[in-house]
Structure 1
Amino acid sequence: MKEKICYLFFVSLLLSVLTSCGSSNAQTETENKETEQVVLTIRNPKVEIATQFEQMVQEYERQNPNVKIHVETVGGASDDFSDIIAQIAAGQGPDIFTNIGYDATKEWINYLEDLSSQPWVEKAYPDTLKPITVEDKVYGMPMDIEGFGIVYNRELFQKAGIQSIPRTYSELKVAAEKLKNIGVTPFANGYYEEWKLGYHLTSLAFAIQQDPIKFNHQLKKGKESFTTNVIAKDLLSFLDLTLQYGNQSATKTDYYTEVEMLANEEAAMILQGSWVQPLLDEEALDKSFGIFPVPLNDKANSKILTGVPNYWVVNKKASSIKKREAKKFLNWTVSSSEGQQFMTERFGFAPAFKHIKTNDIGPISKEVLNVYHTKETYNSNWFAYSSSAKREAGRTLKRYLNRELSKDETLRQLDEVLREDSKP
């Protein structure tokens, strides 16, 4: 009997030990999963901050040794998302990429992780989240607030005797003539990449309409036309002015070259936005630059276009661990002192978040943020059309600049591009 009791006690003790070991092993395995190295891939569309972005990632990796981040920087002519659609569908796409919001949110909804519960949501300026919100769910984190207009060299304007920034088309032409008279090329035109023409400049043709949304819908239905629209015609006249007072081979001059011409004082103005601040800081930190609205006509109603250019989104198809780490990284960029410092001092961004101080964002971004807060701006987001339609619009305007199309042909072509985009 004693032997049986001893036997049962031994078996019970053995089972207890094995169970304890199993529980310990399971806990260890869980802990290992929590601390194992996670590799993330980020698609960064901002070529202007390629180096600074890599440095920010390195700082995050230093603080989070279990995370390794690969950055793929694209932009300009290379900024096309068609190459990653198949990758994401196959589970091989980036873990963090960007989305421009509005219709693009709906187009990509199956690949976007719901970020509504993230701590930064309540800190963002409310209107910045609208373009990336569908059925009360937030699918992206605003990158920053940017402005599009004419970036200019203040010192060259003073040297040419231009006392105030041009508010009308006629004033802009007078300013260009004054710059030309002192031997300075008024405009450095970089029209090689079509995104400036199709994404940014064409937005102005919509934003300045009396009722942009109504005009949009009427244009798609064929009840409005660029061929009879005064603002669209003014847009082409503005392009003519930049060619008249600009550099040679405008459609062969790229983004970097026009910025370099401005930085080196070979030209006084470029048609660009606040995103050029980091490049100008690298090339000409000792010079003073500003930004003013594009005056298409003589009505003095010009305003800078402002808005969120891109939203950071998390790949819904990624693993749960990668999604967790991707969210942690994005939150770190806007919540930590290091992340905020990179955003403002190193990137020159105008933050889309109320809690981030803006003392060191650079003069151009500061001007943009000031007009954004005063609401004296136009909405820069051309939300009613697909990326492919915008690219086609850019190509059409580039053909006009090359004198391959007349004004009437260009306006008709724009009508066709945009109406074709509205077909199911």
Structure 2
Amino acid sequence: MKKNFLSLTVSVAMAGTVLAGCSSGSKDSAGKVYWLNFKPEADEALQQIAKDYKEETGVEVKVVTAASGKYQETLTAEMDKSEAPTLFVVGNQAAVKTWGDYCYDLKDTDVYKELTTDDFTLYNGEEVASIGYCYETFGIIVNKTLLAKAGYSVEDITNFNTLKSVADDIHARAGELGFDAFTSSGMDDSSSWRFTGHLANLPLYYESVDDNWTECPAEVKGTYLDNFKNIWDLYITDSAVDKTTLATGGYDAEAEFKDGKAVFYQNGSWEYSALSEVYGDDEMTMIPIYTGVEGEENQGLCSGTENCWAVNKNASEEDINATLDFMKWLVTSEEGTKMMSEQFGEIPYKNAAENNNVFFKAANEALEAGKYSVAWAFNYTPNVDQWRSGMVAAMNKYDNGESWDNVVSAFVDGWATQYKAANE
């Protein structure tokens, strides 16, 4: 298992071929850039950076932002136009399978050489189809102040058994403490992705390691579904929320955590900005999602990305060159790296601006201590929305007293069904 891919000190030299004329930085370039953006929350900043870049270089940068949850639909429509995106997102192997024929080989381009790691690089055969422009990390966010009030510290939690012991005790004393162990685990659309995506990543990851996945498997075994059940039972039991109400949604776990109603909150590094409005950096951290897997005392956080740049190889040579120049500027210039850090978080490039996000610091500290990072195996999921929908339905049934076998079936049989549907 890889143990250092988040370290900002890593420097990986890449080799290959570079497109003639790329990264010239010439203001006289006839090329232009069309970026189809994946992150709606970054639109305002990207529109401004496009204006700034044009003032500096004379190169036109058009930024179009897809609506939330509509990226693939928008990309399909835009790629059919005469002026298609030159810069777009291909964020997982399923997307490579769909869009690989449109992806320019980024091997040894100047922006590729700026990467500190290739852990977020996606390949189409031997070609580099897309490269990560940021990464994120998720786990269990901890209110250290409340944990201390309950008589514990993060050092007391090293695996599932110790997590359960602490959470059970806090839940049992919730009345006297004034807070519970876990925030709500709502299963409506605004929250269920945390569990059918991020939590389900744990059993998928360990199975992917066992079976050495290099592409989406036609079938999964569900080897670690008992571990998935361990942590899910803990979430829905050691909480102030009645598990039979989770299906209806309407809960706001972030608000619960900000209001000091619970010690633990499963979420990711993207929550730092919102939570830092309430808590100081010394009041919160992130710990791994422990599920009872053997050796998990050496487990770190779950780190990865679906934010990977691809360049349209069907664009003109001038537009390809202009796009590669722009990408390099974003990850090397002071203005570009500052914007990237502020909008996207940690970026895996040599000149990345300093990021003060304590959750990234927790991820790096774990790696520096020799712990392994948990990769985003959920990126392999076939027909992801449909598969997760099946998981939501099955987990809701379980929460209301039906058999866990429904979840096993949704996980295993649902995967096979969606793989077949995606590959017919």
Matched, 1:157 2:150: no
Distance 1:397 1:81, change over 3 A: same
- Aligned mate of 1:237, from 223, 230, 233: 230
Q: 1:392 aligns with which of 368, 386, 390?
A: 386
- Describe how 1:79-228 pairs up with structure 2 within 5 A: 80-91=71-82, 94-128=85-119, 131-165=121-155, 166-180=157-171, 181=174, 182-188=177-183, 189-193=185-189, 194-209=192-207, 211-213=209-211, 220=218, 225-226=221-222
Structure 1 unaligned runs (5+)? 1-32
**Cα gap change, 1:239 to 1:145, in 2 (>3 Å):** same
C-alpha distance in 1 between matches for 2:127 and 2:216: 29
Structure-2 separation of matches of 1:253 and 1:56: 38
Q: Percent identity?
A: 18
Q: 1:370 to 1:307 in 2, by over 3 A?
A: farther
Aligned ranges 1:356-375 → 2 under 5 Å: 356-357=351-352, 359-372=354-367, 374=370
Give 1:8's aligned residue: none
TM-score (norm 2): 0.76
Larger fraction in helix: 1
Which of 379, 382, 387 in structure 1 is aligned with 2:378? 382
Per-residue deviation at 1:335? Answer: 0.9
**Aligned partners of 2:29, 2:266: CA distance in 1, in Å?**
48
Kept after mapping to 1: 8 A contact 2:94/2:380: yes
Distance in 2, matches of 1:291 and 1:352, equals 20
Paired AA for residue 208 in structure 1: Y
Q: Which has the larger radius of gyration?
A: 1
Aligned partners of 1:73 and 1:100: how far apart in 2? 15
Alpha-carbon shift at residue 361 of structure 1 (Å)? 3.3
> How has the CA–CA distance of structure 1 residues 36 and 122 changed in structure 2, closer, same or farther, with 3 Å as cutoff?
closer
In the TM superposition, what whole-angstrom CA distance separates every residue of 1:161-183 from its partner, at most 9, and x where no partner exists?
22235223332233324444212
CA distance in 1, matches of 2:247, 2:329: 40
Q: RMSD in angstroms over aligned alpha carbons?
A: 3.5
What letter corresponds to residue 115 of structure 1 in structure 2?
L
What's the CA shift string for 1:191-231, capped at 9, x where partnerless? 4334333432222102224843358999745xx633xx3x2
Residue 72 of structure 1, CA deviation: 1.1
Asked whether the 8 Å contact 2:134–2:305 carries over to 1, the reply is yes
User: For 2:377 and 2:417, how far apart are their aligned partners in 1?
Assistant: 20
- How far is the alpha carbon of 1:258 from its aligned partner? 2.6
SS at match of 2:265: strand
Residue pair 2:303, 2:373 contacting (<8 A) in 1 also: yes
Amino acid of the structure 2 residue aligned with 1:206: L
The 3 A distance-change label for structure 1 pair 39 and 147 is closer
User: Given that residues 216 and 384 in structure 1 are in contact (C-alpha distance below 8 angstroms), is that contact kept between their aligned partners in structure 2?
Assistant: no
Between 147-156 and 238-247, the greater mean CA deviation after superposition: 238-247
Shift of 1:290: 1.2
CA deviation map 1:269-307 (0-9, x unaligned): 222222222333456557732111111127451432222
**Residues 225 and 415 in structure 1, CA contact (< 8 A), matched pair in contact too:** yes
| Letter matched to residue 339 of structure 1 | G
Give unmatched runs, 5+ long, in structure 2: 1-26
Distance 1:214 1:368 in 2: 24
1:266 aligns with 2:261: yes
Q: Rate the CA distance shift 1:297–1:337 in 2: closer, same or farther, 3 A.
A: same
2:23 — aligned with what? none
Distance 2:85 2:394 in 1: 37
> In the superposition, relative to structure 1, how do residues 397 and 339 fare at CA in structure 2: closer, same or farther (>3 Å)?
same
Distance, in Å, in 2 between the alignment partners of 1:102 and 1:163 is 39
Aligned residues: 378
